Structure 1
Amino acid sequence: MDFLKGEVDGLKKEAIIIGAGIGGLCTAIALQNKGWNISVFDKATALTEVGAGIVLASNALHALDKLGVGHLVRARGASVGRAEIRTWHGDLLVDFSTSEHTESYLINRGILQQILLDSLQAGTSIQLNTTLVTINQNDEKVEAVLSNGDKIVGDVLIGADGFHSVVREQLFGVDEPRYGGYTALRGICNFNDSNYATEHGGGFEAWGRGKRFGFSHIGQGKVFWFAAINMPQGIEIRKGERKKVALQAFDGWYNPVEAVIKATDESAILHHDIFDRKPIAQWSKGKITLVGDAAHPMLPNLGQGGAQAMEDAVELANCLSTPHPVAESLRIFEKKRIPRTNKIVTQSRRMARLVQMENPLAIKARNLVFQMVPSSRLSGRLRWLVDYKV
């Protein structure tokens, strides 16, 4: 028996993956690299990531290197050379560019997804426009019953179906999402600014009173920006009004905030309220487990949502490539991953309170601390997060 290649008696083991986003595709690549057959199912009618950027800190790049795609991501993304935090009117709070820092990149999510798709083995089964209805399992196999009536049998089923995971709900019931207290507008555009030249990469965040704006190069001559604005949950900012709302919210802010918003097509601006879920202590039951946002949805304040899905993929494939039975391997997997991801969920929520402050006195005190503490010390407090090697 060649367990290291995912085979028993000459037959490859079969993995069912629900969800073809970044987490699902990374998991598919990781398992294929270990010799598994995989079948991927997604409710989408087409595999197109909405236009936004994703930050890849060194821990994410390490995971992508383990998957064999890190060099492709670096070739098409933008290295972070400049990383600043400023006040809303431009005063410098922290310049991470001048401190010793680890490798990080930014890339368009759609480009990243295409890299992952292209890295799957030829003939990989990805079935779209298909939803999961129910899951059955016994001591030998797990079965996914799909909306088209198909019943797919495998050795393991992995829920990579995102924030609104059907797999998570079937395993553990319904749990209410937690509103982060702010809504986000995001856009991608072509933009040039001599102060943030393309060849230097990276960009800045500017912090105001209950508002925050981020600007970063993501490669291919593109800039990604986001605006985080405190407001009650559920207020819709309709298409056609988003650019106007962003310009009103950031009127008079540090240049180039207004300029980059103006340079963005209205149709390229997205709007979403921001949520996470309370961390859970278990991801697996029998031969079924969760990865990525299905397991540990987090606020984006540490830039680790995608990175943690990538780490999950590598660790899961490692655990499933041992002589242990699948159910035991999944228990080992979650024991390795849950303490780290739950800590990141918690820290991301704490960071939201820090960066979305509204009290003027608290903001003044926060800014003073950031200006006084060396950037090397601040970045050092994140070493546990970004220097991690799965």
Structure 2
Amino acid sequence: MDALPTRKAIVVGAGIGGLCTALALHQQGWIVSVYDKASSLREAGAGIVLAANAMKALDVLGVGGAVRKAGAPVVQADIRSWDGKLITSLPAAKQAELYGTQSYVIHRADLQAILAQAVAATTPIHTNQQWIDGQQNHGVVNAIFKDGTQVDADLIIGADGLHSAVRERLFGHSPVRYSGYIALRGVCTQEELRNATTGGGFEALGPGRRFGLSSLGNGRVFWFAAINAPQGSLPSAEERQSELLRQFQGWYNPVVSAIEATDPSTILAHDIVDRPPLPRWSSGRMTLLGDAAHPMLPNLGQGGAQAIEDAIVLARCLRNTDIPTGLSAYEKERMTRVNRIVRMSRSMGRMVQLENPLLIYLRNKLLASVSDQRYISRFDPIIGCEV
């Protein structure tokens, strides 16, 4: 088949998925423009875990080395009870040896900066541009923005997150599914935790609550807390630190120390939600990617990874074929995998947020009994995947 003429793509959203899509399409010879409604590229959030599948995908995009330099490798991952007793240690070193790379934790802002710098070398990133519609006519799709800007392209990719405007335009409004718990996140420094022995990264599990902590690189520590609560019961910004200290009073020392060491004004709080899977992601010359297509709960640490994988697969499926055929292949290759991870993430959330003492006891016994090989085998379809 003769090479297709150079094609143009518009990516809506300059988060992790959108920027990776720009890199992947550029590698395939596309002319790409990225549009984001934010006034500047400042990624909200704290840390993000990038397992082996994400790191290998970032290597394909040419930015894996920069991410490793800016982040921190996961060298230890313990599961503990709320009072610090070790339940089990996950086989991080064995997985790194098996997959040829460690998992990494990096600040979301650092990851976005690395991706944005790589994209900006070849691709314009337009901020303060809110996408409102896409009109398809005669093999062209016209992107319309709130300020009146209109841009023609061969393809529009909605990578605009959980509350995707592109998704709603294509498939209508759908309510989010609340998980039953809220999450609070923060960053402090390793120096501020100097009197709190962490023993490496860990998650501590208590009744209806858990707390995770890991090194973030550059002397920083990332933590998150997940607390069972009715939907809409997030504490105010002024109350977040005091509520956390109340919820985790008496817990394993690094938990309380990390909360106390964090600037209260920087603590983030969110309802944890996803959406039911869609039967399709594409319509004509418009498609979805990442959280816009398949938002998932964060319990497996795969939200960002799956967006990165989407980007590479989408670009590959569009190579040397027409757009409808390419989008159909993209959905066929990706939907079964990501929908499985959405289901697994919800199942994992139910397990780690248990409140019943007997069920907690049985869960902890089960976790302690799982061999390294069984754990690796269980998650190999996710972490061992190379797109």
Query: What are the superposed Cα offsets for residues 101-143 of structure 1, whole Å, 9 maximum, x if unpaired?
Result: 2320000000000000110143622111111121111341111
Distance 2:38 2:313 in 1: 27
Distance 1:125 1:347 in 2: 37
- Aligned equivalent of 2:80, options 78, 86, 89: 86
Give yes or no for the alignment of 1:75 onto 2:72. no
Query: What are the superposed Cα offsets for residues 313-349 of structure 1, whole Å, 9 maximum, x if unpaired?
Result: 0001111112x21111001101100000000001100
1:36-185 counterparts in 2 under 5 A?
36-97=30-91, 100-102=94-96, 103-122=102-121, 124-185=123-184
Distance 1:346 1:139 in 2: 39
1:209-358 counterparts in 2 under 5 A?
209-322=207-320, 324-358=321-355
1:2 positional shift: 6.2
Give the length in aligned residue pairs: 379
CA contact (8 A) 2:167 2:288 kept: yes
2:348 alignment partner, SS class: helix
User: In terms of mean alpha carbon deviation, does 333-342 or 113-122 score higher?
Assistant: 113-122
CA contact (8 A) 2:75 2:92 kept: no
CA RMSD of aligned residues (A): 1.5
1:97 positional shift: 4.5
Query: What are the superposed Cα offsets for residues 49-89 of structure 1, whole Å, 9 maximum, x if unpaired?
Result: 12410000000001100101001000110000010001101
Query: What are the superposed Cα offsets for residues 357-385 of structure 1, whole Å, 9 maximum, x if unpaired?
Result: 01111111111111122233223211111
1:330 alignment partner, SS class: helix
CA contact (8 A) 1:51 1:268 kept: no
What residue is the counterpart of 1:377 in the other structure?
Answer: 374
Distance 1:338 1:97 in 2: 29
1:18-33 counterparts in 2 under 5 A?
18-33=12-27
Percentage of identical aligned residues: 51
1:157 alignment partner, SS class: strand
1:196-211 counterparts in 2 under 5 A?
196=198, 203-211=201-209
CA contact (8 A) 1:182 1:274 kept: yes
Query: What are the superposed Cα offsets for residues 240-286 of structure 1, whole Å, 9 maximum, x if unpaired?
Result: 21111111100011121101111111012101010000011200111
2:253 alignment partner, SS class: coil
Distance 2:310 2:368 in 1: 36
1:236 positional shift: 2.9
1:182 positional shift: 0.2
Distance 1:265 1:280 in 2: 39
CA contact (8 A) 2:198 2:254 kept: no
The TM-score with structure 1 as length reference comes to: 0.94
1:187 alignment partner, SS class: strand
Query: What are the superposed Cα offsets for residues 278-304 of structure 1, whole Å, 9 maximum, x if unpaired?
Result: 011200111111000000000000000
CA contact (8 A) 1:58 1:387 kept: yes
Question: Which residue identity is paired with 2:144?
Answer: V
Give yes or no for the alignment of 1:367 onto 2:364. yes
Give unpaired runs (5+ residues) of structure 1.
none
2:232 alignment partner, SS class: coil
Distance 1:119 1:2, change over 3 A: farther
CA contact (8 A) 1:84 1:97 kept: no
The TM-score with structure 2 as length reference comes to: 0.95
Distance 1:336 1:97 in 2: 29
Distance 1:2 1:249, change over 3 A: farther
Question: Which residue identity is paired with 1:66?
Answer: V
Give unpaired runs (5+ residues) of structure 2.
97-101
1:381 alignment partner, SS class: helix
2:134 alignment partner, SS class: strand
Distance 1:116 1:163 in 2: 20
